[in-house]
Structure 1
Amino acid sequence: MPDRWRSPVPDDWPRLVDAHCHPVLTGDLTDEAFAGLMGAGQALESMSTVALRRWCAPVLDLDAHAALDAYLARRRELGAAEVNRRLLSRAGVGDLVLDEPEGTDLEATLTAADARGHRVVRLEDLAAGLLAQVDPPALADAVRSELSRTDAVAAVTLAGVRSPSVGGAANGPMLGARPLADSSLGDLVGTTEPEERADDPRWHTWLAFAALEAGLPLQVPLGHVLAPGRPIFGDPLALRPFLEATESLGAPVILINSYPHHEIAAVLARSYAHVHLDIGRVMRAGGDLSARVVAEVLLAAPFGRLVYSSDGYGLAEHHYLAAVLFRRGLGTVLHDLVVRDEIDRATSDRLTRAVSRDNAVRAFGLGETD
């Protein structure tokens, strides 16, 4: 690996656009809460903690590979505000596309990162808020009206979409090929409880079509972490009918958190002109070993359809690690291709900027300042 990639943030690397993330928590955390947010759980000897000790420890004035206990003690000593400032300001991220759950602090995150923020609207929350103001038959028009005025938002997301599963395997479509008629949507809302709608693909399908018809980029999560920290995954192939039906609408669909189905998601991006996918969460979880995921995605996906994301949530370490390891992973893959004369340096540099920044700027309509 060239010396310029040994730095966490090479001087000549463009500032990243983080295409999907969440704000950090501003309060001090117990060690148990920190471990839970890191996703370590009982597996403290994992690549995520190896990466934490290697890359985050020096930012907190510790030696690289410092023991985890020493890292946690230093984190407590500095306090959450200083840890957030150090890690976020050194991540090399210029824009954050932020999904803002309760309990997080968007403004504190942007200040610490010295980055532009772009809010994401959760479609389910938007619809729920409107349903408190209008009767079910009027919901469709109310949602469309609200979406037509949401010109400041970078994207919308179906945060609650789930793939029905049996034994952990996908057993049905997350989104369908045809939305309900407005009258049928009113009937659905009027005869079901929110908990029932949360598991109903018809509900999510209607919201997704409404967003895309309004010209808004749509984020579709393929991976989630349940309360105990146990992940569930959606099968990207189940989205094919939906993607077929929405391609002509032209608005981008961004498949987020596609690992371990990233290769299938990459093929979908190659097959449908409006489909994008992110490279992110797996980077912070897999350390340098996740460079192979970058290679596997590049194998199939069009270069213009890849975006970076951290899926950082709560911890500044998420944001920092994902950014550092993304640059190292992409840099390693492209350097190897240049050395083998598979691509020239100019193409490598153009691809680096595209995946790091330009693709997301275009997909989300962010405008350019970098």
Structure 2
Amino acid sequence: MAEPLPLPALVDQHCHGVLRDDLSDERFESLLTESDAPAAPGTGFFDTQLGFAVRRWCPPLLGLYPHCSPGRYLARRRELGAGEVNRRLLRAAGIGVFLVDTGLPGELTTPWELATAAGGTGHEIVRLERLAEDVAGRLSDPGSFGTAVRRAVDEAARTAVGFKSIAAYRCGLDLDPTPPTEAEVRAAAVRWSDSQNSQNSRDGQDSRDTVRRLTDPVLVRHLLWCAARTGLPLQLHTGFGDPDLTLHRSDPLLLTDFVRAVRPTGCTLVLLHCYPYHRGAAYLAHAFPHVYADVGLSLGYTGVRAQAVLAEFLELAPFGKLLFSTDAHGLAELYLVGVRLFRRALGALLSRWVAQGDWSRRDAERVAVLIAADNARRVYGLGPGSAAIG
């Protein structure tokens, strides 16, 4: 295939806001890793596949040569200012729709600010655990948590296009797949409140001034089932993440019984990230009609190896069940890199298969559009897309 595959304006089905302010060198590099520790002595987090990809793809948008030094790149970034850098990189990425998880802390752009900077549109994905913690912080009676959070989920469903859970972080995916009873939820909520109050008392804090971290598996299950019953898609973190995660408990195959149990509700499950368990995620998408898999995070962090990882996703996942995303957070660079690596990897794979005679060009173009945008538009009810951007 001599010509590049035509792609529509992409739908980034899982991402986060970017920081509005100029960043120190240290803060910038901290956003190139999932680690919470310094880089190895004598190196930095630019010395990674993701760091090299940033230096390959982003400098030309700031008026620099590819592969310029990290110091030169960061100095130029400060010269232009965060607002101008964000605008240049986001517009160059070619993303038309952003589905933004708004559950992360920090001064991040809203879905609408992000979309405006990029010249696209934005929608909210509501993070269940953050929603539940906000609800709990307003309750005087912890026994009413189950009902209150169900109402909050239903209310959020009126404006959001989907929900997300980080159960993998909070209790692991090896949880009881069945919905808990009202009595179980009530007892767990009281335990959670009592535990929080005891900790606050020991620390000399007012419970109203602290963030309640939801880790109880009964309450997490309640959240999952509340979301499943709204009819909106439910995103689930699986695989790779920061050190708060116990990786083997984030294997998407641990969700198999939950996948079976939730199927009668009609809820669509979207498995995020997946790496290094992406082949298992592809199997679940293959075997169950309501399961989809996402390539976000996997491709950015694997850099020049993104083609190999994407090929493994495509071994078993039906082509109508795979979704593009960047999982960009904090840095506009992560949007541009996520898009460039995705387009290169997908284009190279499909070009090779067409050249070998295994696929037709027409089929390759159709599959590219499905993964880039149309699958997400169908899953989230976004309607038809815009014209191809080349």
Structure 2 equivalent of residue 21 of structure 1: 15
What's the counterpart of residue 145 of structure 1? 151
Which of 74, 84, 87 is 1:85 aligned to? 87
Deviation larger for 213-222 or 63-72:
63-72
Asked if the contact 2:374/2:385 (under 8 Å) is kept, the reply is: no
Q: How far is 1:223 from its partner?
A: 3.6
| Local SS of the residue matching 1:95 | strand
CA displacement 1:141-173 (0-9 Å, x = unmatched): 333333333222111111354276xxxxxxx64
Counterpart for residue 204 of structure 2: none
Residue 310 of structure 1 aligns to a residue whose secondary structure is coil
Whole-Å separation in 2 of the counterparts to 1:141 and 1:200: 17
| Distance change in 2, residues 1:231/1:16 (3 Å) | farther
Match in the other structure for 2:216: 200
- Matched with 1:56 is 58
The change in CA–CA distance for 1:235 and 1:109 in structure 2 (over 3 A counts) is: same
Which of 97, 104, 127 lines up with 1:122 in the alignment? 127
Same amino acid, percent of matched pairs: 36
- Indicate how the Cα distance of structure 1 residues 185 and 197 shifts in structure 2: closer, same or farther if over 3 A, else same: farther
The aligned runs of 1:311-350 (5 Å cut-off) are: 311-350=327-366
Cα offset, 1:95, TM superposition:
0.6
CA distance in structure 2 between the aligned counterparts of 1:254 and 1:32, rounded to whole angstroms: 33
Larger deviation: 84-93 or 231-240? 231-240
CA contact (8 A) 1:303 1:351 kept: yes
Partner-residue secondary structure (3-state), 1:219: strand
Matched residue, 2:164:
157
| 1:237-260, Cα deviation, whole Å (9 max, x unpaired) | 211111111122221111111111
Give distance in 2, aligned partners of 1:232 and 1:33: 25
Partners of 2:191 and 2:146 in 1: CA distance: 15
Task: Give, in angstroms, the shift of residue 200 of structure 1.
Answer: 2.7
Q: Note the 1:270-289 alignment, pairs <5 A.
A: 270-289=286-305
**Structure 1 residues 1-370: aligned runs within 5 Å:** 2=2, 4=4, 12-39=6-33, 41=39, 42-100=44-102, 101-102=104-105, 103-106=107-110, 107-131=112-136, 132-133=138-139, 135-149=141-155, 150-159=157-166, 161-162=168-169, 173-192=173-192, 193=195, 198-223=214-239, 225-226=241-242, 232=247, 234-370=250-386
> CA offsets per residue over residues 265-304 of structure 1, 9 Å max, x none?
1111111111111112122222232111111000011111
Distance 1:340 1:151 in 2: 48
Partner amino acid, structure 2, of 1:111: T
> Is the CA contact (8 Å cut-off) linking 1:163 and 1:173 kept in structure 2?
no
Relative distance call for 1:82 and 1:231 in structure 2 (3 A) is farther
Contact 2:270 2:293 in 1 (8 A): yes
Instruction: Give, as a single letter, the amino acid of the residue that structure 1 aligns with 2:127.
Output: R
1: CA distance, partners of 2:220 / 2:176? 9
Letter in 2 for 1:25: L
Question: Secondary structure at 1:269's aligned position in 2?
Answer: helix
Distance in 2 (CA, whole Å) between partners of 1:341 and 1:38 is 39
Counterpart Cα distance in 1 of 2:215 and 2:24: 34
Superposition deviation, residue 93 in structure 1? 0.3
- What letter is aligned with 2:160? V
- SS of 2:18's equivalent? coil
Q: How many pairs align?
A: 356
Residue type at the aligned position of 1:181: T
Rounded to whole Å, the distance in 2 between the matches of 1:286 and 1:64 is 19
> 71-80 or 139-148: which moved more?
139-148
Q: Which runs of 5+ in 2 are unaligned?
A: 197-210
Structure 2 vs 1, CA of residues 321 and 289 (structure 1 numbering), >3 Å: closer, same or farther? same
> By how many angstroms is 1:345 displaced?
1.1
Question: Per-residue CA shift, 1:188-214, capped at 9, x if unaligned?
Answer: 101224699733322211111111111
Give the superposed CA RMSD: 2.2
Indicate if the aligned counterparts of 1:18 and 1:95 stay in contact, CA closer than 8 A. Answer: yes
Normalised by the size of structure 2, how large is the TM-score? 0.85
* TM-score, scaled relative to structure 1: 0.90
Q: Which moved more, 1:338-347 or 1:126-135?
A: 126-135
Amino acid at match of 1:83: V
For 2:142 and 2:358, locate their aligned partners in 1 and report how far apart those are by CA, in whole Å. Answer: 58
